[in-house]
Structure formats: C-alpha cells, structure tokens
Structure 1
C-alpha cells in the first residue's frame, strides 16, 4: 500500500450522513491522527463557517480544528484575490449562506458587497434563494460581472431525499444570462490544487477520500490525485459499472489499512 502523506477527506457520506455518524469514517480519522498523518477535510458545503464544521465534527466524535478544514468558500475567495493582488476593494454580489458570506466579508477586508456593478457574482447554496437575488445576479452578469459557482452539485442528499443543490441554482442563472459559471469546488481541480498549496504537499503523495464518484473521485481524476471511494454514501458499485475505477474501492473505511 502506498504511503500517502496527505489525506483529503470528504465529510457527508464519509464521516457522517446528515445527523448520523458513520463509525468507519470516524475511526479512519482517529487512525490518521494516531499515526500523525496530515489530513484536510475537503467539503463542497459552503453553508457552514469553519467553526461550525469543527463543531459538527465534534458531535460525531472527531476532535479537530479549523486549520484542518477547507471549503469552496475559502478557495473561491483565494481564487479572486489571486486575480487582484493589489486591489484595495473588490466588488462582489453573493448568493449564499453564512459560511460563504462570512469568508468573504469577515475574513477578507478586500471584498465589498455591491449589488449595482460588482466585478464578481459568487453563487453558493442558498436555501432562502429568492427571485430578487436571481434578478440582481442576472443583471450584474449581463453587465459584465464574472460568474462563479462554488460547486456544481445538482442535488444534495437530505435523509432519503435528494434536494436541489448549488449547481441547480447556477443553472437557473446560467439560463437567464447565457453565461456558464466558473466552478471552484469538487470535482474541479481548482479546489484540490489550492488545498495542496495550502498544505505544501504534492499530488503524487496525496489521497482524496470520499463517497461520491461524481465529486470526490472525479476531483482526484481531474487533479492527478489518487482516489479512495468508500461505499458508505451516495455511490454504489452499480453506479460505477463500466466507468473509470478509483485507485482504491472499499465497502467502508474500516477496510483501509493506513
């Protein structure tokens, strides 16, 4: 078994499933911690702040800190800042919840909310999406604002239900504007590349771990990072029949030897 130096770990479907703890996922993190392995929770969820993610993990038996969490909110802010290294204020219009807004407005003073003529429209999951928000976003994009989606998830699991995800919201706006968004989160390589830079590790010494073939595993394919697919979440063996196989496939993370 390859000796990986960094593990990029998905959350929902891997460590927990909604409010339900996935024991094999929690045990896997505990084993990484005991072995002193470097890890980063790489989630597509932008609705929670880093502190909220850490608090939720604690409820499932995982004790960690904000330095071990990386979200599309963080990656999106960094992506834009890298495009404007010397600008004092960057106008943004944000559709999203506290996790996304907090990252842009509390963590980075370079950003300024602007509904009239923003340079960027950033769209994250928003369970309070309104027609007014879509209208403002549409007008700004038609007037030249860059359209960024934090992730392209069309659906999200909620109990036994699949609910509309951020990708569905972005499709709404894309249809209204004729502009496709630039996506940052998994399966795009942008968020993985930024996570690697943050940790100082290379792609060939990293393993991405998750339950979703279309996001987690494809993120590995797209960024040349090895992949571990656990069948404790949304993807089944039948789902990947005839498709490119992940580096490692397990029924649960208890089967993986660190």
Structure 2
C-alpha cells in the first residue's frame, strides 16, 4: 500500500453528505492531523470564503481545520489569473463574496468597462445587467474565465442551477468558451499542488465523484482515491476506461503512513 506525503480532498460527498455527517471522514482528517501530513480540501464551491468553510466544518461536522487547509475554486481562479500576467490586475466578476475576496486577496481590483479579465462563478443574485457588463467586456477583449462547469447543485429542494449554468449564458451571449478552472480541469490541481508544496508523485486526490474529483486527478496525472460515500457507484466505475488508483467503501479502510 502506497503512502502519500499529502492529500487533496473533496468536501461534499467525501467529508460530509449535504448536512449528514460521515464519521469515517472525521476520523480520516484527525489521523492526518495526528501525523502532521499536509492536506487541502479542494472544492468547486466559489461562493464561500475559507473562513466560512472552516466554520461550517467546525459547527456542523465537528471537524477542526485551519483556513490554509481550504482551497476553493475561487482561490484557484485568483491564483491562475495572477500567474498569467503580473501587469494585468483589473477584473469584472460575477460571483459571491468567496470569489470577490479571493480576487482582492491577490491584489486585483474591480473594473466594469474595460477589465483585463471577466471571471464568472455562481451568483445567487445575478441580474441581466451583470450579464450585460460581462458580455460587453469580453467583446472588448477581456479574457473570459469560468470558476467551474458544474451545471447543477444539489440542495434540499433538488438540483438547482450551478456555476456552469451562469457561465453558459455568458458563453452564449459572447460566442466564446470560458477557460474553466475547477474540477475536472487540471488547472485547479496544478494550483493546489503548488499551494501544498509537494510533487505529483507525493499526493493523491480523494473524492466521491468520478466525473469531477477523479477526472481532475486523472487529467493532471496524479493518483486518485474514490470513496463510495457520495455520487459515484461501483456499477458506474465498472464501465469507465480509466479506473481510480484506489477504491474504498469507507475512508476507515485507508491506512495512512504508519497507522
């Protein structure tokens, strides 16, 4: 059994399921902490700040981590465009506080008319005017970035529109395809690896969804660990061409270094 120096870990479906606790996930995180093994929670949620993610884990799931354990698609997006050109710092953003704060933290400023970048993520109060500004800015030459392609999000009412649905409207109005950052794209994996400070061979991507978590790891060329506590089923995985490196029914099954 291979031992990893670091773990990139999905949240919903892996560490918890909606509002339901996954006890094995809490134990898994605590084992990593006991052995001082670095880990990042890598999530496609661009709406929440790391502080809010930490609070949710603490209050609702009795899991205690630091903000530096959180890597959202908002942070990955800010990291990505920060690395493109140090002279380009203006952004028009459609999104919630999590996205806007991540951009501010990387010293971007907001510009509606002629920004260098248009970044689109999930926005619960999106309006026609916001779409109009984004469309016009892209038509003027702004680079078009989408946080993640998830078309739907599950909540207590069912499947509601996700960031991908918002981005698709701008793609339609501009006839341009966004550069996507979040899972299953390799970009978020590349930026997360840089953040955790390890090599590809040293880390594994842990998740419950083959189409996002595992595909992101495969696309980036790192090992993957699929845990059957969320979206993907064994029947579905039997049909895929590229299997996860590791398949588990529970995170309790995984032996961390010297367990």
TM over 0.5: yes
Instruction: Give RMSD over aligned pairs.
Output: 1.4
Could you tell me how far 1:160 is from its partner in structure 2?
6.5
Distance 1:24 1:160, change over 3 A: farther
| Residue number in structure 2 paired with 1:118 | 115
TM-score under structure 1 length normalisation: 0.94
Answering whether residue 229 of structure 2 is matched by residue 228 of structure 1, we say no
**Other structure's SS at 1:12 match:** coil
Distance in structure 2 (CA, Å) of the matches to 1:163 and 1:236: 22
**Other structure's SS at 1:26 match:** helix
Gap runs ≥5 in structure 2: none
The answer to whether the 8 A contact 2:79-2:106 is kept is no
Number of residue pairs matched? 254
Distance in structure 1 (CA, Å) of the matches to 2:170 and 2:235: 33
| Residue number in structure 2 paired with 1:176 | 173
Answering whether residue 103 of structure 2 is matched by residue 104 of structure 1, we say yes
Q: How does 1:64-213 map to 2 (within 5 A)?
A: 64-85=65-86, 87=87, 90-105=89-104, 107-109=105-107, 111-159=108-156, 161-213=158-210
TM-score under structure 2 length normalisation: 0.94
Q: For residues 176-197 of structure 1, what are the alpha-carbon distances to aligned partners after superposition, in whole Å with 9 as ceiling and x for unaligned? A: 1110000111111111111111
Distance in structure 2 (CA, Å) of the matches to 1:143 and 1:49: 30
| Residue number in structure 2 paired with 1:35 | 35
Distance 1:241 1:168, change over 3 A: farther
Answering whether residue 249 of structure 2 is matched by residue 251 of structure 1, we say yes
Distance 1:207 1:103, change over 3 A: same
The answer to whether the 8 A contact 2:94-2:121 is kept is yes
Distance in structure 2 (CA, Å) of the matches to 1:161 and 1:17: 14
Distance in structure 2 (CA, Å) of the matches to 1:207 and 1:141: 36
The answer to whether the 8 A contact 2:93-2:100 is kept is yes
The runs of 4+ residues in structure 1 deviating greater than 4 Å are none
The answer to whether the 8 A contact 2:82-2:106 is kept is no
Could you tell me how far 1:98 is from its partner in structure 2?
0.8
Could you tell me how far 1:164 is from its partner in structure 2?
1.4
Q: For residues 37-91 of structure 1, what are the alpha-carbon distances to aligned partners after superposition, in whole Å with 9 as ceiling and x for unaligned? A: 1111111111111111111111211111111111121121121121222x2x622
**Other structure's SS at 2:153 match:** strand
**Other structure's SS at 2:194 match:** helix
